[in-house]
């Protein structure tokens, strides 16, 4: 079998789905796979370094239009793959039945949230999945969606993973050097978060609960890596708290393993928004932290509870929905019900801050789980088997 990956999301564009697809695809036999995607700054140098063929089109976004269908079918007639794997299932999956080759889809889960609540869209999703030759489920949440539609026989679970050679526990000397590089205090208790800075990631909640725990743990320091549209609001919020908050900006990929290795606790308080229509698909950052030996705190949203094993590799907590920050210090003005909703996350952070032994124990369990279950080398073999490569 030969397989063409059709997707909007492929490096050098940055994001969780992009990393997931690339880490898997680059481990498959290069003569058996290829990619059809959109152009992106830096793609020429990236593509030259890959051993498989990548076709790029200048479209700003690949949509299931007649023009794209004709272009892809012409490409399929020329390259003759046995299967087209479409990521994600919607909206690109709508092209599936119109292609001249059999197709499969990658189902992450987040893109199925709206169809699960709207009857018309649920029917559309069902048609896309029903006619797919194979469904690659990137989360147990997505697997449940497929099983609810009685499609479990064609569904293969291949979750996001982590490069366990890059992400590993660091020595005290390495930790000290990295903290100096990023301007972090040598003896502080570093709480790290790595993410796009958008409301769903819950960085405002993280700043607020870190400030509360800081009152009893003055050694606490919060480091936030990443950028996004929520950054100005978060910086404004951080100016009104006492806990030191370091906004590190976008950290280069080559420096990420060291940054994780310099931290003590990882947290991303992802949440549901818009009545559950927007949720976290999985959370690769939790696995990167786990492979580095960090305990994690995750918000209960989408597939995040799957990325973190509650009570073993970390703690999964309920989080409040998004409440737009209107004041410098939300804790002084938010309704009491909103404050109470942050209590589980605050309790989890205080529990880890209080107990060094618990942090070490969970960090060791997290590292073992990451290397034994979520290594990309292992997951790529599962994908190759599912695609009959």
Residue with tokens 């993410």: 195
Same domain, yes or no: 235 and 288: yes
The per-residue pLDDT for 262 is: 96
- Is the pLDDT score of 335 beyond 60? no
Q: How many structural domains does the chain have?
A: 2
- Is the pLDDT score of 332 beyond 50? no
Domain of residue 275 covers: 172-373
Q: Which of 133-142, 186-195, 213-222 has the lowest mean pLDDT?
A: 133-142
Same domain, yes or no: 190 and 151: no
Same domain, yes or no: 354 and 382: no
CB 353 within 8 A of CB 219: no
| Alpha helix ranges (H) inside 131-183 | 140-148, 172-182
Q: Is residue 329 in some structural domain?
A: yes
pLDDT tens digits along 165-211 = 999 999 999 999 999 999 999 999 999 999 888 888 889 999 999 99
- Is the pLDDT score of 330 beyond 80? no
- Is the pLDDT score of 152 beyond 60? no
Q: How far apart are CA 209 and CA 180, in angstroms?
A: 25
- Average pLDDT on 82-92 reads 92
| Maximum CA extent, the chain | 66
- Is the pLDDT score of 264 beyond 60? yes
Q: Is residue 139 in some structural domain?
A: yes
Same domain, yes or no: 248 and 283: yes
Q: Is residue 368 in some structural domain?
A: yes
The per-residue pLDDT for 331 is: 39
Same domain, yes or no: 76 and 98: yes
Which pTM value belongs to this model? 0.81
Higher pLDDT, 148 or 242: 242
- Average pLDDT on 262-280 reads 73
Q: Is residue 11 in some structural domain?
A: yes
Same domain, yes or no: 203 and 308: yes
DSSP 3-state helix, strand, coil percentages of the chain (rounded to 5)? Answer: 45, 15, 40
- Average pLDDT on 88-117 reads 82
Same domain, yes or no: 109 and 179: no
Q: Which of 68-82, 102-116, 303-317 has the lowest mean pLDDT?
A: 102-116
Same domain, yes or no: 68 and 103: yes
**Beta strand pairing status for 103-107 and 314-317?**
unpaired
Q: Which of 84-93, 131-140, 204-213 has the lowest mean pLDDT?
A: 131-140
Same domain, yes or no: 126 and 20: yes
Same domain, yes or no: 221 and 369: yes
The per-residue pLDDT for 276 is: 45
Q: Is residue 203 in some structural domain?
A: yes
Q: Is residue 167 in some structural domain?
A: no
The per-residue pLDDT for 328 is: 33
pLDDT tens digits along 22-77 = 999 999 999 999 999 999 999 999 999 999 999 999 999 999 999 999 999 999 99
Same domain, yes or no: 116 and 181: no
Q: Is residue 166 in some structural domain?
A: no
Same domain, yes or no: 75 and 195: no
pLDDT classification of 147: cutoffs 50, 70, 90? low
* Phi, psi (degrees; rounded to nearest 5) at 266: -115, 140
Q: How far apart are CA 216 and CA 350, in angstroms?
A: 9
**CATH code for the domain in which residue 219 is found:** 3.40.50.2000
Sheet containing 83-87: order of strands: 53-57, 33-38, 3-7, 83-87, 103-107, 135-137, 155-157
For residue 226, is it left (φ>0), alpha (ψ between -120 and 50) or beta? Answer: left
DSSP state of 313: T
């Amino acid at each position: 079998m030969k397989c063409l990956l059709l997707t909007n999301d492929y490096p050098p564009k940055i994001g969780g789905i992009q990393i997931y697809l690339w880490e898997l695809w680059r481990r498959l036999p290069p003569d058996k796979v290829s990619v059809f995607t959109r152009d992106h700054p830096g793609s020429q140098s990236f593509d030259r370094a890959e051993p498989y063929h990548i076709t790029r089109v200048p479209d700003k976004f690949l949509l299931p239009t007649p023009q794209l269908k004709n272009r892809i079918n012409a490409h399929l007639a020329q390259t003759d793959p046995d299967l087209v794997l479409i990521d994600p299932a919607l909206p690109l999956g709508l092209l599936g039945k119109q292609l001249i080759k059999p197709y499969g889809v990658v189902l992450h889960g987040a893109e199925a949230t709206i169809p699960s609540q709207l009857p018309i869209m649920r029917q559309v999703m069902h048609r896309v999945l029903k006619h797919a030759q194979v469904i690659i489920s990137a989360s147990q949440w997505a697997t449940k969606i497929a099983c609810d539609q009685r499609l479990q026989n064609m569904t293969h679970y291949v979750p996001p993973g982590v490069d366990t050679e890059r992400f590993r526990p660091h020595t005290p000397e390495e930790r000290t050097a990295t903290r100096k590089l990023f301007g972090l205090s040598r003896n502080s208790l570093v709480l790290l978060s790595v993410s796009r800075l958008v409301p769903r990631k819950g960085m405002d909640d993280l700043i607020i609960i870190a400030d509360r725990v800081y009152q009893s743990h003055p050694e606490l320091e919060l480091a936030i890596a990443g950028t996004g549209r929520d950054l100005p609001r978060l910086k404004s919020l951080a100016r009104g708290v006492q806990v030191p908050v370091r906004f590190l900006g976008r950290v280069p990929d080559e420096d990420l393993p060291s940054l994780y290795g310099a931290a003590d606790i990882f947290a991303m308080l992802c949440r549901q928004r818009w009545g559950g229509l927007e949720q976290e698909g999985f959370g690769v950052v939790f696995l990167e932290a786990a492979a580095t030996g960090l305990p994690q705190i995750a918000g209960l949203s989408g597939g995040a509870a799957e990325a973190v094993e509650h009570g073993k590799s970390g703690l999964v907590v309920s989080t409040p929905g998004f409440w737009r920050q209107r004041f410098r210090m939300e804790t002084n003005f938010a309704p009491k019900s909103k404050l109470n909703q942050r209590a589980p996350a605050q309790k989890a952070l205080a529990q880890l801050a209080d107990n060094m032994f618990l942090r070490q124990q969970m960090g060791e369990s997290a590292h073992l789980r990451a290397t034994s279950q979520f290594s990309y080398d292992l997951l790529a073999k599962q994908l190759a088997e599912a695609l009959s490569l």
